[in-house]
Amino acid sequence: MLYWPVTTLWPDQIQEFDYLLLIDRIKKQLYFFYECPEQSPQVMLFYGQPGIGKTSFATLFGRNKCADFEYFAMNECVRKHADLLDLNINPARLSAYYKDTGERVIDYLTIFDEFHDLTMKQQDIFKVKLETLREEQRVIICLNTSRDRPLDTVLASAIKSRCHLVNFDIRPNERGEHAKLVQERFPSLSLRDVERLLPDMRKITREHKLRTAFKDFYLQKAS
């Protein structure tokens, strides 16, 4: 089984909730879970288009609110059915004995990313696993959906029934709100650029970094 500590995968700048560019509807729901992690559902499933903050929030939650957490990329496991069967998501962990006494009230978080890359049969392996969690344990499942691949076509019904669902997709009437938030954060991009690149925040971040680097380079040359 391939897994990595999440802190090696995401930039250190994603350290605070306010750094995430979330529209008000999604922000309110996630902020409650972030500020009251003990009230969060044991299994949360984040779905929507790629690059809109699902994994970013999951890793932020793990880093700041959980004593210990692990990240599993399901696209690395699709040909390893036996590993999925053997995966223990409720192990005895040091965090149960050494967890912080402050705000990190969750012992252990497991993040399953790219869950849509598993077949329905492979997803069904997790039915029992999700019902045997300890009280202070959480699981977050992230999967991509689209107009052509809606949730019910990429997620097994047995898993869906065991999860609290959070839809990260931006509704048509929310696009203006989202675009304004993004342009304020990335002033190097015009509104037309933002509308062209949304909703994939990874593309927006790359474009912003590239334009900023070009600007800095030519400013140095001019001086």
pLDDT tens figures, 10-22: 444 567 898 898 9
What confidence tens digit (pLDDT) does each residue in 157-195 have?
999 999 999 999 999 999 999 999 999 999 999 999 999
The whole-angstrom distance between residue 201's C-alpha and the CA centroid of its chain comes to 12
User: Helical H runs in 36-185?
Assistant: 54-65, 81-86, 95-98, 120-124, 126-129, 151-154, 157-160, 175-185
Q: Distance between CA 98 and CA 164 in Å, rounded?
A: 29
Per-residue model confidence (pLDDT) at position 10: 43
Question: Which residue type occupies 8?
Answer: T
Cα–Cα distance measured from residue 84 to residue 121, given in angstroms and rounded to the nearest whole number: 11
What are the angstrom distances between the C-alpha of 128 and each of 77, 94, 168?
Answer: 19, 24, 26
Q: What pLDDT does 109 receive?
A: 93
Q: Token pair of 151, please?
A: 């949730």
Query: Omega before 172 cis (within 30°)?
Result: no
- Read off the pTM: 0.86
pLDDT 10s per residue in the chain (223 long)? 334 344 334 444 567 898 898 999 999 999 999 999 999 999 999 999 999 999 999 999 998 999 888 899 898 776 677 888 888 887 766 555 555 545 678 989 999 999 999 999 999 999 999 998 988 899 999 999 999 999 999 999 999 999 999 999 999 999 999 999 999 999 999 999 999 999 888 899 899 999 988 887 777 877 7
